[in-house]
Amino acid sequence: MIEGIFQRLTAILQKGIELSWLRQNLISANIANAETPGYKPREIDFEGEMKRFLSEGELRPLRTHPLHLPLLGEAAPQVFPKRGWAVTPDENGVDLEEEMAELAENYLRYTSLVQFLRRQLGMLRYSIREGGTF
């Protein structure tokens, strides 16, 4: 019972970390292309992807790194053009201030998820080491 709860929580945290990492890369690409004529900023729907992951209901093996190939049957997160972006005369849609704010927000989300996962793993480590002594 407890193993299932721990396994599910770990899977949720890992998925959140993976999506945050992907989002960080997309935001960084948007910032890097702020001066590129015709560039269309891209994003992922973090909340939507997490809801989709949670609604699947079953646990699948997890990748240990976001760059590893997806597992069979695993849907890759959808990357799409950013909605509501304003076009400049050179047809570049990057709002640098907005991207920087999103970068900071995503960094906080990523570090929070990593810290929470570290705490979970620390509790598991403690249980293994100290669990047998009363």
Task: Report pLDDT digits (tens) over 2-37.
Answer: 567 778 889 999 999 999 999 999 999 999 999 999
Q: What percent of the chain has pLDDT over 90?
A: 48
pLDDT surpasses 70 at 48: yes
pLDDT at residue 77, as a whole number: 84
pLDDT surpasses 90 at 81: no
DSSP 37: T
pLDDT at residue 107, as a whole number: 97
The pTM for the full model equals 0.76
Run of H or E residues at 17? helix 2-32
What type of residue is 29? Answer: A
Domain tally for the chain?
1
Nearest to 97 by CA among 83, 89, 86, 108: 86
- Which of 88-92, 98-102, 107-111 has the weakest average pLDDT? 88-92
Contacts of 102 (CB under 8 A, 6+ apart): 27
Tell me how far apart the 2 most distant CA atoms of the chain are, in Å: 71
Domain that holds residue 86: 2-130
pLDDT surpasses 90 at 76: no
CA distance 66 to 51: 19
Contacts of 51 (CB under 8 A, 6+ apart): none
Across residues 86-112, what is the average pLDDT? Answer: 89
Q: Which has more confidence, 5 or 97?
A: 97
Q: What percent of the chain has pLDDT over 70?
A: 76
- Cβ burial 51-60 (10 Å sphere, 16+ → b, else e): eebeeeeeee
